[in-house]
């Protein structure tokens, strides 16, 4: 079952920034972002946003994109239409004040790993599933606003929270309206999954009739 998603990655002010960058790169750009549970919104606490964005953009700019038969990380999107949609999302966001900090170029059906900083709710990329390698960065003034932004979506498939404090991460994850939440483990990556994500249970909790 393939579901729609606009999964938030919430990065709190006490997060391991390098670990959060690793998670964001993996979650946002694996399979060109063409996964229903891909990271679709990167929500970062304002206090660490500048350092986080600088490191994330530097990493994203190093990801090679091109023919998947070559040594690349990002290959083709599913169609030319999908690739052109990425350009539309980028143009809309930039016209409304977002800052392009990584990527932004398209060659045929291949789109670079792209990051848009200072995204706001009036931009299409804020709420619309990209299903591609174009990702918004949304800065939150505090923890409560980060949770509000995470919940400001019609989707509720997946979410993730980064904090050095496991109890804090679990508390924040419990406030996010998501069927499948992840938190970073004390050591290592990727994080273990938790929540209602198994077979019939997942179908029941992800379906409205």
- Active-site amino acid positions: 2, 36
Nearest to 192 by CA among 184, 202, 201, 180: 184
**What is the distance between the alpha carbons of residues 126 and 77, in angstroms, rounded to a whole number?**
20
DSSP-derived secondary structure letter, 161: E
3-state secondary structure of 153: coil
What six digits make up the tokens of 77? 């999107």
């Amino acid at each position: 079952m393939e579901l729609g998603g606009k999964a938030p990655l919430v990065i709190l002010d006490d997060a391991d920034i390098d670990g959060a960058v690793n998670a964001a790169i993996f979650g946002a750009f694996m399979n060109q972002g063409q996964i229903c549970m891909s990271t679709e919104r990167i929500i970062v606490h304002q206090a660490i946003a500048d350092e986080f964005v600088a490191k994330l953009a530097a990493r994203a700019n190093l990801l090679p994109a091109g023919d998947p038969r070559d040594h690349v990380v990002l290959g083709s999107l599913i169609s030319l239409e999908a690739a052109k949609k990425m350009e539309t999302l980028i143009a809309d966001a930039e016209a409304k004040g977002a800052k392009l900090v990584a990527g932004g170029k398209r060659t045929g059906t291949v789109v670079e790993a792209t990051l848009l900083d200072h995204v706001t709710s009036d931009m299409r990329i804020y709420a619309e599933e990209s299903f591609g390698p174009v990702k918004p960065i949304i800065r939150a003034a505090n923890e409560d606003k980060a949770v509000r932004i995470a919940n400001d979506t019609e989707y509720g498939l997946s979410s993730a929270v980064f904090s050095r404090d496991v109890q804090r991460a679990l508390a924040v994850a419990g406030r996010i309206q998501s069927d499948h939440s992840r938190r970073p483990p004390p050591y290592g990556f990727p994080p273990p999954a938790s929540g209602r994500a198994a077979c019939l249970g997942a179908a029941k909790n992800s379906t409205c009739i």
